[in-house]
Amino acid sequence: LKLLQYPVPDSGQMLDFLISDYTFNTLLYHFHRKGIFAFRIGPEIPVVGDLLNLTCTADDIDFDLSLELQDNKV
């Protein structure tokens, strides 16, 4: 993690900029609120479609309760 390096008072430059991730996040947030920067992430996108699956079938469950059941009987 690199901390921001503030410009020195006499750097010899005419203009210094201090830009952080907050600057970009705020810019994108305001673009989104104005409808300039809008996109939809859904299951039709191949890269993230599987990550958005919030339901599971019986085949997706991969655990075994037999050891826990044996421990409870003792």
Tell me the pLDDT tens digit for each residue of 15-44.
777 788 899 999 989 998 998 877 777 777
Report yes or no on whether pTM surpasses 0.85.
Answer: no
Residue 37's H or E segment, with its range, is: none
What gap in Å lies between CA 54 and CA 15, rounded to an integer?
50
pLDDT at res. 69: 57
Tokens of 55: 């339901």
Each domain of the chain, given as residue ranges in start order, spans 21-72
What gap in Å lies between CA 55 and CA 64, rounded to an integer?
20
pLDDT at res. 30: 92
64 vs 35, higher pLDDT: 35
CB distance 20 to 4 below 8 Å: yes
What gap in Å lies between CA 53 and CA 62, rounded to an integer?
16
